[in-house]
């Protein structure tokens, strides 16, 4: 752990809990209201398709997205080889020297686009997605996720039928941050007989109670149409049963690929691919009962909703800064953001990659992509250069989407590229500069005092949760265990800045997925704190929430104190109660930051 902080002695248990005086209610900042279901006026489905948006700008340009770099190759296939349909995961790790870092795992398909034995590859970056190592074989194509117990889990793409109501799905598990993988089999119990195989599309989602949700689409016996569904596991991916149906195909249209995310208001949002028109189009549906029932699918809406959004392979990501990001494509590859974090309103998409030949806008890249956070305001997106070919009846590749004699902007190599993109939080009020707390700590510009010292050093818990500790409160990650934790009724963190700042904004994430309370105090001298400038009551968050603090008496703030109260029940390994500070950000109201 860094040496520039010291543990505060535990507050005596005889001290009564702080009673918030009446005037404190005046500074209770309004949190985002929970989404309330409301009637939606009936409207005709638009017939026209939306045009593909402009390219993502290279500067902020007043936009929610800005590109940090141009596309770069990370995996280029050998001649006659394949690499396409990628996914990506960002894995927070602790290096041997004790520093925190991010490994990035990009996985992809290495076989033709056909129902054949899946052959997958991967390449890994140990420097946050800047450079990638050699391509090697992978037991999975879908990107892995971090589970609550610390393991990484990735699912195979195709399931195999066992009997009328049983399918098996290969899963891969890693207990060492992806260095090695152990293969396994999950059993899927289906309510009806599947006609053959099914597809586990995308990565699973884990809810606060540990339930895993996996999107899955398949054809049932007697039907020629695929149906997207959500399967749930409560035993760590050993068995799955169907929890809900995302959409029912029919009327000349077929739903298949789907992505599900738990968004800022706690609901589950799904974005679906619907085939049957001139282009595949994207639709949305929402669940407020943990995936059991879903609203009727409706077209994804950009601007005034006067056109259908074309796209395949939707991927949703709730960024640590609370912005919801959608990655999709065909035509091209693009990103779109919902600044409300819940997918109620979407800004038009921004193109991140195209490989056109001037013949058809759907030629070139498949539009399949993957996204993962590299911090609270940055992400990596991976995508392919050319859509993998299908197979003709004689077994030869069908390369109509990327013919070798075509005049493509970036050639016809089957390979994977990446791009880094900034996702800007749309703050209200005057501009503010983010204070780099982790950098200040390294450089000696910040010291930290805290009572939140779980797990004790040298214990099995410390070995099992290496990212838990005071550094987890400002490492840019909102992973559950990347937090400052106290096994007490009250947690306290005090930040001492070497230089005073005019504090303009505070970002907080407490105990992800659980209701929690917090108060923030500020001081110029470290001795006089006054009343709280931010008060949070029983708020359940899934990312950071941002607050404009009540103006303090002094504009030269050097000391910030965050007090969190215990939430119960807590994780068994901690104890019956725990106080948690998952992430904090500070912003200076001045043009510069210390």
Q: Return d(Cα 168, Cα 189) in angstroms, integer.
A: 9
Contact 186, 239 (CB under 8 A): yes
Q: Return d(Cα 150, Cα 544) in angstroms, integer.
A: 21
Contact 126, 132 (CB under 8 A): no
Bond before 455 cis per omega within 30 degrees: yes
Specify the 3-state DSSP secondary structure of 258: strand
Length of the chain: 594
- Residue 471, token pair as written in the block: 């550094």
Q: Return d(Cα 422, Cα 67) in angstroms, integer.
A: 6
* Cα 239 to the center of its chain, rounded Å: 24
Residues 522-539 have pLDDT tens digits of 999 999 999 999 999 999
Q: How many other C-beta atoms lie within 10 A of the C-beta of residue 93? A: 16
Residue 155, strand partner residues: 171
* Contacts of residue 253, Cβ cutoff 8 Å, sequence gap at least 6: 274, 275, 276, 277
Q: Return d(Cα 344, Cα 574) in angstroms, integer.
A: 37
Q: How many other C-beta atoms lie within 10 A of the C-beta of residue 239? A: 14
**Tokens 């075509």 sit on residue:** 406
Closest CA to 233 of 185, 194, 197: 185
What is the pTM (predicted TM-score) of this model?
Answer: 0.91
Output the pLDDT for position 431.
62
Output the pLDDT for position 45.
82
- Residue 92, token pair as written in the block: 């927070």
Output the pLDDT for position 22.
31
Contact 163, 109 (CB under 8 A): no
Q: Is 527 left (phi over 0), alpha (psi -120 to 50) or beta?
A: alpha
**Tokens 């990565």 sit on residue:** 203
Q: How many other C-beta atoms lie within 10 A of the C-beta of residue 362? A: 20
Q: Return d(Cα 98, Cα 571) in angstroms, integer.
A: 25
Q: Return d(Cα 75, Cα 104) in angstroms, integer.
A: 13
Output the pLDDT for position 118.
82
Q: Please list the ranges in the chain whose pLDDT falls under 50.
A: 1-42, 592-594
Q: Return d(Cα 576, Cα 500) in angstroms, integer.
A: 38
- Integer-rounded Cα Rg, in Å, for the chain is 24
**Tokens 């005889």 sit on residue:** 14
Specify the 3-state DSSP secondary structure of 58: coil
Long-range contacts at 165-173 (CB < 8 A, ≥ 24 apart): 165/189, 165/190, 165/191, 165/192, 165/193, 166/190, 167/194, 167/197, 167/198, 169/200, 169/240, 170/139, 170/140, 171/140, 171/237, 172/139, 172/140, 172/144, 173/237
Specify the 3-state DSSP secondary structure of 1: coil
Contact 529, 522 (CB under 8 A): yes
Residue 215, strand partner residues: 230
Cα angle, residue 525 at apex, residues 522 and 527 outer, rounded to 5°: 80
List domains and CATH numbers for the chain: 68-391+407-423 (2.120.10.10), 434-588 (2.60.120.260)
């Amino acid at each position: 752990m860094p040496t520039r902080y010291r543990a505060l002695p535990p507050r005596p248990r005889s001290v009564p809990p702080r009673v918030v005086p009446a005037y404190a209610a005046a500074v209770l900042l309004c949190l985002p209201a929970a989404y309330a279901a409301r009637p939606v006026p009936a409207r005709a489905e638009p017939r026209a398709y939306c045009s593909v948006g402009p390219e993502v700008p290279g500067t902020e340009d007043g936009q929610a997205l800005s590109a940090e770099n141009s596309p770069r190759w990370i995996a280029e296939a050998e001649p006659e080889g394949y690499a396409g349909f990628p996914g990506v995961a960002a894995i927070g790790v602790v290096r041997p020297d004790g520093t925190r870092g991010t490994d990035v795992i990009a996985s992809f398909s290495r076989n033709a686009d056909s129902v054949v034995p899946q052959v997958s590859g991967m390449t890994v970056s140990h420097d946050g997605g800047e450079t990638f190592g050699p391509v090697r074989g992978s037991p999975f194509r879908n990107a892995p996720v971090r589970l609550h117990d610390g393991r990484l889990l990735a699912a195979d793409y195709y399931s195999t039928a066992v009997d009328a109501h049983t399918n098996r799905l290969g899963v891969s598990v890693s207990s060492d941050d992806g260095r090695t993988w152990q293969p396994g089999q999950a059993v899927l119990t289906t309510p009806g007989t599947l006609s053959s195989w099914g597809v586990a599309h995308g990565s699973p989602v884990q809810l606060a109670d540990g339930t895993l949700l996996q999107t899955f689409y398949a054809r049932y016996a007697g039907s020629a149409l695929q149906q997207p569904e959500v399967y749930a596991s409560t035993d760590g991916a050993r068995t799955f049963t169907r929890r809900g149906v995302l959409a029912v195909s029919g009327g000349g249209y077929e739903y298949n690929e789907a992505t599900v995310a738990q968004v800022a208001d706690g609901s589950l949002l799904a974005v679906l691919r619907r085939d049957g028109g001139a282009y595949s189009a994207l639709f949305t549906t929402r669940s407020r009962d943990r995936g059991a029932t879903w609203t009727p699918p409706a077209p994804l809406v950009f601007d005034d909703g006067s056109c259908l959004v074309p796209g395949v392979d939707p991927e949703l990501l709730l960024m640590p800064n609370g912005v919801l990001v959608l990655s999709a494509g065909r035509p091209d590859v693009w990103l779109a953001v919902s600044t409300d974090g819940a997918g109620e309103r979407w800004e038009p998409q921004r193109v991140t990659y195209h490989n056109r030949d001037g013949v058809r806008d759907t030629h070139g890249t498949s539009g399949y992509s993957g996204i993962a956070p590299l911090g609270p305001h940055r992400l990596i997106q991976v995508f392919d250069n050319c859509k993998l070919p299908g197979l003709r009846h004689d077994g030869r590749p069908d390369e109509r989407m990327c013919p070798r004699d075509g005049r493509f902007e970036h050639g016809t190599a089957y390979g994977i590229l990446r791009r880094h993109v900034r996702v800007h939080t749309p703050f209200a009020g005057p501009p503010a500069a983010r204070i780099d707390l982790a950098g200040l700590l390294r450089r000696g510009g910040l010291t930290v005092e805290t009572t939140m010292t779980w797990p004790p050093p040298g214990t099995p818990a410390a070995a099992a949760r290496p990212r838990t500790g005071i550094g987890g409160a400002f490492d840019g990650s909102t992973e559950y265990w990347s937090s400052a934790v106290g096994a007490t009724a009250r947690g306290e963190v005090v930040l001492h800045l070497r230089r005073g700042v005019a504090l303009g904004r505070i970002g907080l994430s407490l105990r992800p997925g659980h209701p929690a309370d917090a108060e923030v105090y500020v001081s110029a001298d470290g001795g006089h704190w006054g009343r709280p400038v931010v008060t949070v009551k029983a708020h359940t968050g899934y990312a950071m929430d941002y607050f404009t603090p009540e103006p303090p008496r002094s504009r030269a703030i050097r000391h910030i104190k965050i007090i969190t109260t215990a939430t119960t029940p807590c994780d068994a390994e901690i104890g019956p109660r725990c106080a948690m500070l998952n992430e904090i950000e500070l912003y200076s109201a001045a043009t510069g930051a210390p």
